[in-house]
Structures are given as structure tokens and as C-alpha cells.
Amino acid sequence: MATTAELFEEPFVADEYIERLAWRTPGGGSRGGEAFDPKRLLEEFVNHIQELQVMDERIQRKVEKLEQQCQKEAKEFAKKVQELQKSNQVAFQHFQELDEHISYVATKVCHLGDQLEGVNTPRQRAVEAQKLMKYFNEFLDGELKSDVFTNSEKIKEAADIIQKLHLIAQELPFDRFSEVKSKIASKYHDLECQLIQEFTSAQRRGEISRMREVAAVLLHFKGYSHCVDVYIKQCQESYVKDQLEEHRKSDAEQYLKNLYDLYTRTTNLSSKLMEFNLGTDKQTFLSKLIKSIFISYLENYIEVEIGYLKSRSAMILQRYYDSKNHQKRSIGTGGIQIHKRTEAKLSIQDLKERIRQRTNLPLGPSIDTHGETFLSQEVVVNLLQETKQAFERCHRLSDPSDLPKNAFRIFSMLVEFLCTEHIDYALETGLAGIPSSDSKNANLYFLDVVHQANTIFHLFDKQFNDHLMPLISSSPKLSECLQKKKDIIEQMEVKLDMGIDRTLNCMIGQMKHILAAEQKKTDFKPEDENNVLIQYTNACVKVCGYVRKQVEKIRNSMDGKNVDTVLMELGVRFHRLIYEHLQQYSYSCMGGMLAICDVAEYRKCAKDFKIALVLQLFDTLHALCNLLVVAPDNLKQVCSGEQLANLDKNILHSFVQLRVDYRSARLARHFS
């Protein structure tokens, strides 16, 4: 049977079961070449069927036994469930009876409690009324003896009593009880103030539980809203103090930044609160609240601002000069003088400066600046940025009545450090660095100073219009600021004009040196008239090259009408130089032709000026040079030409006299 049981596998398939049985029977298959034995297989199948029948009977008996046992247990379980249901019904009935009994007892207890309360409440009220009458009598007698009023630790009990007495006093007639009503009201007010002070002290100590306790007592007083105000104010003051006091003396920059930030955020919050219903006078209320918080910081704000701006600006300048390894020196007047002098006597330095300004004479040796302008856009941007932030803080933190005055003080700081200490110092240094007009190979850097000063002043003017004007536009300080700015511009223009004039003189001096070094007498009176191969002289080439560089430099250094003005002045001086230079030589016929070629080249150079007057002067000079080569018979005709007809006869004569053949009777006769 064990073997039969092994043949059963899950899932059961009859065909596979037969195959496994046949395979295990000797002679039931072809395993190992063994011959198939059907009789033996049949015998095995018959035996196996008998075994299966025995197994089936055994299993059937076991199933029947299990079914009987299951039915028996089911009957026992059903009986047990019925017994439990009966027990549950009995318990439920007992619970209902207990619930009814509890409800009955509770009703009795509530009724008893009501009866007790009905008896106790009047008694308590009577006791409380008696105490209040006792305290009222003390006020009536004018002497407070009770410990509750004299002991500061019992302020909570005193507050409860005085609040009730205050309500009672409101109902009493004024004519008979005016004095006692006044005393109660006074005590009410004193206790209210003490409670608010206690609340404030507790808040400063950080005792939240005490704050909660005092606030609960104040809740029944009229001044409870003051408790809320004090709490808000104290929170703001503590926060503001923490943010500002740390840097107030040690770091002015951070202090000003924090003050501006806190005040701005507070005013923005105030604007948002204006949208809510805070009463008819909410704007005044919020303004007073903000003022009470920041008053100690705003009173001296401008002094802190000016002090910081002064030290910061000085540091920026000093850091720049240190980076250049330069020690500032006293040059000229040492700065722009905005106000008129009242002294009766002038110092030697002032006298020198006035003589220099009026005569354009260099008094004292020039200073070699090594090409340094001592102007820095980085320094200027830093100074303007600091001043811009100062103007913004001034606008926000200044009282409206003090705003123009404070803005003017900040502007004065900007003038002092940007215009006087930086720009004017650079102009003075640049003036001192301009060499004399007779110096050889002089390096001219003043035009670089002009260019940078012009750029910087544009930035200064922009800040004046963008940030200062809105703060002073409707105040008397406007005219004062405009006048100060005008004085600055005028005095700078004087120095710029002086420096440009000296620079032009140096340019002309350089041209003189080139002409003196390169121009030879034989250029215009060659030994061999038939062997002249050059188109123009070497002196002319070098002078024209130098002039073109200076013209380009002037155009790069200036803007607007200033370019034309300076180029016109240079062009006129250039023409005068060439005119006087040509007067120094005698000219043969071929030399005269070479002079005409030189002047033609000078005229081509003059076209770069793009100034009509300069070109006209060189056209006339070119026409005058024709007198050096024209045939004697044609002199009168040439002199009466369009370009020379309006010239003085002495000028024409002076050019004719330069001809080597002037002494001939024929030439003198034709020109007379």
C-alpha cells in the first residue's frame, strides 16, 4: 500500500498514473531490453486494483468517523452558543437596571447640588458684598488699612477688588459720593499703571507665565488695549535695539544699513496696516508709534551719516593714492575756494596763483607726473555710490523739515572729496606737470586729465540731477546747491582752460623745435637748382606727423563744441608759427616751389582740423607763397587775385622781399 500511495502525485492524472505503474512492473515495458510480459502486467494490475479497493474502504471508514465526530462537536457548540446568549440577555437586563439606578442617583445629586448652590451663592455674595463694603468704607474714611492694598505682592487681589468697586462707584450719585468716587478712580488708575508696568517688566525679563497672569487681570480693565500696545512696542524696541546697539559705536556702516533697513520695513508694515480699520486717526497713531521706537536713533542720524561719509571717502582716496605710491602735496591753491576771502592781506601762495591765472606763467618748476593723471573712475564710482546710498538714507530717515538741510550737507561732502580732494587736486597736479613751452621732447598728459575730468564731471552732474534735486527741489537749498555747483564748474573750467592753453603752447614749442632742428637754409635756396628731388622738406613731414597726432588726441580727449574751440585755437597758432617760420628764409625759384609744396602739405594737414577758419588761413598762406615763384611781370595780377586782394600791402611786400631776386631793378619796379 505504501508503494501504491507513492504513485499518487498532485495533480492526479489517470494516464500518467497507469504509465508509472506499468513502468515499475517487471516485464511491463522495454526497460533494459527486457521482453514485454502482458500476463505479468495484468496480474500486477489486478493486484493493484485489489489494493486500491482495500485503501478505498479504509479511507471511507475514516471519513465516516470524522463526519460523525464533526456532527457531534457542532451540536455541542450550538448548545454552548445558546447558553451564552441566555447569559448575555441576563447581563443586559442587569445593565439596564443599573443605568436606571445611576440616573436616579445622579438626578438626586444634581437636585441636591442645586439646593446647595441656592443656599451657598447668596451666602458667598453676601460675604463678598460685606468685604466690598469694608473696602468701600476705607475709601470713604480716606485711609486704606487692608493688607490687600498695602502689600505689593497682592496686586492681583487688589486689582480684582478695585475693579468691582469702580463698577459700583459708577452707580452712586455724584453729589454725595464725588470724593470717594474720585479716590476709587485714582486707585483704579494707579493699579492699572502698576499692572502695565509689571507686564512690561515681566516681558523684559522674559517671564511669559507672569505676563500671561498679569494680562488676565488687565483683561477686565479699560486699559487692556495699552497692554497690547506695550507688548508690541516692547517687541519692536527689543528687536531694534538688538540690531542697532551692537554696531552703533563700532561699525557706522553696518549701523546705518541696519537703521535704514529696519525703518524702511517698519514704514512698509505701517502702510500695509493702514488698509485695516484701526480707527479714524490711524495714520497719526502709527506715525507716533514708529517715532517712539526710532526717536533716539533718528535724532542724531545725520551726524553719524556725515561722520561715516567723511571717514569712508577719505579712506577711498587714501587707498587709491597709496596704490599709486603717491604722497599728496600742496599744489596751487590746494583746492577749490567756494567762498570769497575776507582777509585783508593775500598770502604769497594766493598771490602766485592769481598771477598764474591771469598771466598763464608757470611760477616754479614743473612736476614730472610720469604720465599719471591721478584720476580714477573706480574711485569716483565708489564715492558716488557711497553718496547715493547716503542720499537714499537721508530721504528715508530725515525729518521732512530737515531733509533739504541734511541733503545739502551730504552734497557738501561729495564736493569736498570728489571735486576738491580728487578732481581739483588732479587738475592742480596736471597743471604743475605741464612743461614750459621751450622744453624739448615734452610729454603732454594734461589732455588725458581733461578727458577723465570731463567724464567724471558728467557722472557728478548725473547724480546731482538724479539723487540730490528731488530732495531739495521745493526748498531754499535748491538755489544754494545750484550756486555751489556753478562755482565748482567755473573754477574747474578756469583751470582746464589754463591747462589747455599751456598744452597748446607746448605743442607749438615742440613744432618750433622740430622746425629748428630739421629745416635748413639750403632747403629753400639749393646750390643746384636743377637737382632738387624731394617733394617737400623733412621738417614739414615731421611737423605734419606731430600735428596729426595732437589733433587726434584732442578729439579723443574732448567732446561737443570744446573740440572745435580747441582745434581752432591750435590751428590759428599753427598757422602763425608756419607764417613766421617762412619769414625767416630767402627763396630761390626752386626753393619757392618747395616752400609751396610744404605749405600745400601743411594745408592738407589743416583739413584734418575740420575748421573752416584754419583751412582759410592756410589757403591764404598758400596763395602768399605763390609770390615767391611768380614771374615779376605777373606780380600785380597775382596780388589782385581773389585770395590776396584784401590783404594788407605790407604783408604782400614782406613775402616778395623774401625772393633772392628781390634786389633786381626789374622786380622792384613791378611791385612798386
DSSP 529-595: TT----SS-HHHHHHHHHHHHHHHHHHHH--THHHHHHHHHHHHHHHHHHHHHHTT--B-HHHHHHH
pLDDT tens string 621-646: 998 888 888 887 777 787 877 778 77
With a CB cutoff of 8 Å and minimum separation 6, the contacts of 28 are 21, 22, 36, 37, 40, 41, 44
User: What are 124's three cell numbers?
Assistant: 458667598
Contact 140, 183 (CB under 8 A): no
pLDDT tens string 431-483: 888 888 887 777 778 888 999 999 999 999 999 999 999 999 889 999 999 99
Helix axes 224-244 and 174-205, enclosed angle (nearest 10): 30
Contact 521, 583 (CB under 8 A): no
User: What are 356's three cell numbers?
Assistant: 598764474
Contact 473, 403 (CB under 8 A): no
Q: Write b or e for each residue in 233-248: b if 16 or more Cβ atoms lie within 10 A of its Cβ, otherwise e.
A: eeebeeebeeebeebe
- pLDDT at site 180: 72
How far the first Cα of the chain sits from its last, in Å, is: 169
User: What are 134's three cell numbers?
Assistant: 469694608
Single-letter amino acid, residue 636: K
Spatial distance between the Cα atoms of 488 and 484, rounded to a whole number of angstroms: 6
Q: Looking at 105-153, which runs of residues are DSSP E strands?
A: none
Q: What is the phi/psi pair of residue 661, to 5°?
A: -95, 15
- pLDDT at site 533: 60
Spatial distance between the Cα atoms of 603 and 609, rounded to a whole number of angstroms: 10
User: What are 166's three cell numbers?
Assistant: 469702580
- pLDDT at site 282: 63
Strand partners, 587: 659
- pLDDT at site 529: 66
Q: How many residues does the chain have?
A: 672
pLDDT tens string 562-621: 999 999 999 999 999 999 999 999 888 888 889 999 999 999 999 999 999 999 999 999
Cis peptide before 632 (omega within 30 of 0): no
Contact 294, 240 (CB under 8 A): yes
Look up cell 499703571; give the residue: 193
Contact 585, 525 (CB under 8 A): yes
Q: Which residue, 374, 382, 370, is CA-closest to 331? A: 374
- pLDDT at site 336: 43
Complete DSSP assignment for 319-363: HHHHHTT------TTSS---SPP--SS--HHHHHHHHHHHH----
Look up cell 492526479; give the residue: 12
| Residue 101 three-state SS | helix
pTM strictly above 0.85: no
Whole-angstrom CA distances from 375 to 446, 448, 463 are 11, 10, 18
With a CB cutoff of 8 Å and minimum separation 6, the contacts of 489 are 457
With a CB cutoff of 8 Å and minimum separation 6, the contacts of 358 are none
- pLDDT at site 287: 77
Whole-number average pLDDT of the chain? 80
Q: Which helix or strand (DSSP H or E) is residue 642 part of?
A: none
Contact 252, 307 (CB under 8 A): yes
User: What are 151's three cell numbers?
Assistant: 502689600
With a CB cutoff of 8 Å and minimum separation 6, the contacts of 607 are 615
- pLDDT at site 659: 85
Spatial distance between the Cα atoms of 20 and 570, rounded to a whole number of angstroms: 129
Quickly count: other Cβ atoms within 10 Å of residue 566's Cβ.
22
Q: Which residues in the chain show pLDDT less than 70?
A: 1-10, 28-34, 119-121, 123-143, 145, 147, 149-154, 162, 170-171, 174-175, 220, 222-226, 229, 231-237, 239-248, 276-283, 285, 330-369, 529-534, 664-672
With a CB cutoff of 8 Å and minimum separation 6, the contacts of 221 are 159, 163, 188, 192, 195
- pLDDT at site 190: 74
Longest dimension (CA), the chain: 177
